[in-house]
């Protein structure tokens, strides 16, 4: 009898343990994102789920991991998911939840850029067409009809993620979210209504209690606690708008989009790798390739004049899911080197000095006790 009770107790304990979700805390300080109390150097790459097929997703994600990535970054495309107001589509290429689950199963993290304006050379910037016909609406400004719809969709996506426990705070892979997108590039056109809109966007996003930090890219006046980040070919000179925020690069353009009649875009891997190395050397701790796999603009999803069906982007993984050499392999070796220096890179603040014209010395001083299990 005692043996039966003991067995029943052990089975019950195992079942309880199997249902325990190991939650992850994600915060930040002036140097880096902090995951479970440890500063991290993170290397990320963009893969847009609707620009490839679900059958391709696991292989694309595995090749990203094999290439040395820690994070997969994607936009969320409002007009795909809500083509008619209150009628949602999350099937097939639109299955955002499954895509994120694949990333998590591969042991990678996720940066979810909700927007909901995304640009991305996507039709109408991701906005659904019906949004245009709401009486009195003005996009991306301090306008009540627009803010109501933006909040409703953003909350819908956040709730969808929470239902499947996909945020790191729930044990899932999502460690970052983005609200708005490159608004700073057009902010002056909105006049005095722009700043209230940005403040509202930040407050709305943080009120959704995702348990992970939010970012705004190309937004120099992003209010606390939102992290402002850099987009561009080079971001080593970028500094965040607060000495309490880390230096993050959300779009390092691995190439460019293709236009009908134009030259095929090409960015040499030597230049791309140099931009990455210099960014981390000068204090950066999160860098994302836009794109790591570009994919295809299926149907009528392209946005902008003469943008081609191919969204290959000269990315490390090409439009068809094949690794592009030497770009993929060159970056893989760079990522290995960066990871070997991770403890030093995030230990303290780098200092810069110039010993002469066109010369620069970066010094990082830190105390480190050698662990004989460390790789050499």
d(CA 330, CA 338): 13
Question: Can 209 be counted among the known catalytic residues?
Answer: no
Residue 74 contacts residue 113 (beta carbons within 8 Å): yes
Which residues, in sequence order, are bridge partners of residue 33? 28, 40
Residue 268 contacts residue 328 (beta carbons within 8 Å): no
d(CA 353, CA 109): 35
Residue 101: count of CB within 10 angstroms of its CB: 17
> Which of the residues 182, 209, 319, 342 is marked catalytic?
182
Question: Can 182 be counted among the known catalytic residues?
Answer: yes
Contacts 24+ apart (CB under 8 A), 350-358: 350/281, 350/282, 350/283, 352/282
Which residues, in sequence order, are bridge partners of residue 40? 33
Residue 234: count of CB within 10 angstroms of its CB: 16
d(CA 349, CA 346): 8
Residue 222 contacts residue 170 (beta carbons within 8 Å): no
Residue 328 contacts residue 67 (beta carbons within 8 Å): yes
Residue 75 contacts residue 126 (beta carbons within 8 Å): yes
> Which of the residues 251, 270, 342, 360 is marked catalytic?
251
Query: Residue 26 is inside which H or E element, if any?
Result: strand 26-28
Nearest to 167 by CA among 19, 21, 40: 21
Rounded-to-5 percentages of helix, strand, coil across the chain: 35, 20, 45
Q: How far apart are the first and last CA of the chain?
A: 56
The residues assigned a catalytic role are: 182, 251
């Amino acid at each position: 009898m005692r043996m039966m009770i003991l067995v029943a107790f052990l089975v019950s304990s195992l079942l309880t343990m199997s249902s325990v979700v190991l939650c992850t805390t994600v915060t930040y300080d002036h140097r880096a994102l902090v995951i479970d109390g440890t500063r991290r150097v993170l290397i990320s790459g963009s893969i847009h789920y609707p620009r490839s097929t679900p059958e391709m997703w696991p292989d694309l994600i595995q090749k990203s991991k094999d290439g040395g990535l820690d994070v997969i970054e994607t936009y969320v495309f409002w007009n795909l998911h809500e083509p008619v107001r209150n009628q949602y589509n999350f099937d097939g290429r639109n299955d955002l939840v499954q895509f994120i689950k694949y990333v998590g199963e591969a042991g990678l993290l996720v940066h979810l850029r909700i927007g909901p304006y995304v640009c991305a050379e996507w039709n109408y910037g991701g906005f659904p067409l019906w949004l245009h016909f709401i009486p009195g609406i003005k996009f991306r400004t301090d306008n009540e009809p627009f803010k109501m719809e933006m909040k409703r969709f953003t909350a819908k996506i956040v709730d969808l993620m929470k239902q499947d426990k996909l945020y790191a705070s729930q044990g899932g892979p999502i460690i970052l979210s983005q609200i708005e997108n490159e608004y700073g590039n057009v902010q002056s056109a909105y006049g005095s209504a722009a700043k209230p809109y940005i403040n509202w966007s930040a407050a709305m996003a943080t009120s959704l209690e995702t348990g992970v930090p939010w970012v705004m890219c190309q937004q120099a006046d992003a209010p606390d606690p939102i992290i402002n980040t850099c987009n561009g070919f080079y971001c080593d000179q970028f500094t965040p708008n607060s000495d309490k925020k880390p230096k993050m690069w959300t779009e390092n353009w691995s190439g460019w989009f293709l236009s009908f009649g134009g030259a095929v875009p090409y960015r040499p891997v030597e230049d791309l790798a140099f931009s990455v190395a210099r960014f981390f050397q000068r204090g950066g701790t999160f860098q994302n390739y836009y794109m790591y796999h570009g994919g295809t603009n299926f149907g009528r999803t392209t946005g902008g004049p003469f943008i081609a069906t191919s969204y290959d982007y000269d990315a490390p993984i090409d439009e068809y899911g094949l690794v592009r050499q030497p770009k993929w392999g060159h970056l893989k070796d760079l990522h290995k080197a960066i990871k070997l220096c991770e403890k030093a890179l995030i230990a303290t603040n780098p200092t810069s000095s110039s010993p002469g014209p066109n010369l620069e010395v970066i010094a990082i001083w830190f105390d480190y006790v050698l662990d004989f299990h460390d790789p050499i």
